[in-house]
């Protein structure tokens, strides 16, 4: 009986030690982890002589302050051009910043779901050649997320649905503001990105 108990204890001890080693050096997150994240996108649409091109880049950084909670910060840049084919062009450029927190259900695992909350500010300039206007927008978003580690350091991440609020000053100068709420859990607004654990 003693041999069985000692054998079981030894197996549990080895299993626990092995699990700890995997958690420290394997896929997944733990308290104190620092990571880089980001999304990038390019679009080009042509209809007859009309053409629209757009580019977005949003790098970010995150840090785990707890076993399940990470704080995040992100910058965003965008640029676009619309040409109606008749010589009229509209150029857009924008800069934004966002900050918030994210809760991971199983951060130490290869696969995890998350829910986050962040505040954002975006300034977008529109120039049609004859003049320009700058639109300023603030937002509050509570997105759902899914994260999957394809290696010890790299993960594919996605976010979608959730709750969103935005307020746009429409260029100011007495213009009425546009405010909006949205709530959805479908995949119509899903976005993908990458995470690199440092």
- Residues 53-91 pLDDT 10s: 999 999 999 999 999 999 999 999 999 999 887 878 899
Do the Cβ atoms of 29 and 107 come closer than 8 Å? yes
In the predicted structure, residue 12 carries a pLDDT above the cut 60: no
Q: DSSP 3-state assignment of 14?
A: helix
In this structure, what DSSP letter does residue 126 have?
A: E
Q: Which of 42, 36, 44, 50 is nearest to 78 (CA)?
A: 42
Do the Cβ atoms of 37 and 61 come closer than 8 Å? yes
- CATH architecture of the domain 33-197 equals Beta Barrel (2.40)
Percent helix, strand and coil across the chain, each rounded to 5? 10, 65, 25
Q: Is the pTM of this model over 0.85?
A: no
Q: Which of 166, 167, 170 is nearest to 135 (CA)?
A: 170
**Between residues 142 and 161, the one the model is more confident about:** 142
Beta bridge partners, 63, equal 34, 71
Question: Which residues neighbour 57 within 8 Å (Cβ) at sequence distance 6 or greater?
Answer: 38, 39, 40, 76, 77, 78
Q: Where are the domains of the chain?
A: 33-197
């Amino acid at each position: 009986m003693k041999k069985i108990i000692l054998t079981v204890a030894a197996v549990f001890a080895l299993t626990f030690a092995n699990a700890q080693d995997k958690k420290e050096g394997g896929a997944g997150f733990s308290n104190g982890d620092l990571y880089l994240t980001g999304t990038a996108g390019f679009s080009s649409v042509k209809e007859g002589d009309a053409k629209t091109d757009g580019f977005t880049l949003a790098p970010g950084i995150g840090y785990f302050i707890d076993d399940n909670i990470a704080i995040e910060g992100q910058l965003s840049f965008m640029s676009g051009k619309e040409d109606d084919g008749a010589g009229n062009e509209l150029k857009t450029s924008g800069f934004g910043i966002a900050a918030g927190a994210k809760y991971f259900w199983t951060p130490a695992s290869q696969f995890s779901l998350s829910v986050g909350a962040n505040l954002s500010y975006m300034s977008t300039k529109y120039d049609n050649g004859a003049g320009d206007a700058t639109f300023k927008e603030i937002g509050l978003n509570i997105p759902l997320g899914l994260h999957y580690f394809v290696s010890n350091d790299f993960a594919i991440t996605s976010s979608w649905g959730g709750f969103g609020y935005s307020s746009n000053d429409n260029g100011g100068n007495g213009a009425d503001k546009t405010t909006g709420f949205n709530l959805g859990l479908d995949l119509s607004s899903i976005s993908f990105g990458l995470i690199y654990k440092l």
